[in-house]
Amino acid sequence: MKASKIVVIAVIILLISGSVFAQKFGPDPGKKKEILTQYRDLELLKILDLTEEESGKVLPIVKEIDKNRETFHFKSKQILEEIEFSLKHNEDETKISELNNKLIKLEKDFNKEKTKLHEKLRSYLSEEKYAKFLLFNRDFAKKLKERIKSIHEKPFLKH
């Protein structure tokens, strides 16, 4: 039963991605991210071999983890741009200190929320499945970076 659901989801993803890639100028970045996230979730479910009930609890937490990370990266980028601006315009030490503190607080809050979400996720999984989740995240990110790198390194076809 789980395998058939996975196959149905995979077919839907392929149909969506096929229609998206058939567009004249290709998919927008948001759509690419959505497809990649769906693929990642599908692979995660396959590796963790979750029941339907477990999937219903785990996937929303994984999405919260993603949202927390995205929010952190967005906000930290903004603060770093403010720091860069302050340094370029020789603003006083107090202003720079405030921005530095703001960034440190953001990092602390991010890590606190990340820990809370991981503890919540861990409470729904066995220790083995949580360990597989951690390794999957590391390996998926590494494989994705390698794949992107290999695409960019391929030479153009010579005529």
Q: What's the pLDDT at 51?
A: 87
> Which tokens is 135 given?
């390794």
Burial class (CB in 10 A: 0-12, 13-18, 19+), 58: buried
How large a percentage of the chain has pLDDT more than 70?
80
State the pTM of this model.
Answer: 0.72
pLDDT the model gives residue 109: 98
Alpha helices in the chain (DSSP H): 2-21, 29-48, 52-88, 93-124, 127-153
List all residues 6 or more positions away from 5 whose beta carbon is below 8 Å from its beta carbon: 52
User: 153 versus 93: which is more confidently predicted?
Assistant: 93
Question: Which stretch of 30-39, 67-76, 95-104 has the lowest confidence by average pLDDT?
Answer: 30-39
Q: What angle, rounded to 10 degrees, do the helices at 29-48 and 52-88 form? A: 140
Contacts of 58 (CB under 8 A, 6+ apart): 48, 50, 121, 124, 125
**Higher-pLDDT residue of 14, 79:** 79
Q: Are 10 and 42 in contact (CB under 8 A)?
A: yes
Range 72-79 average pLDDT: 98
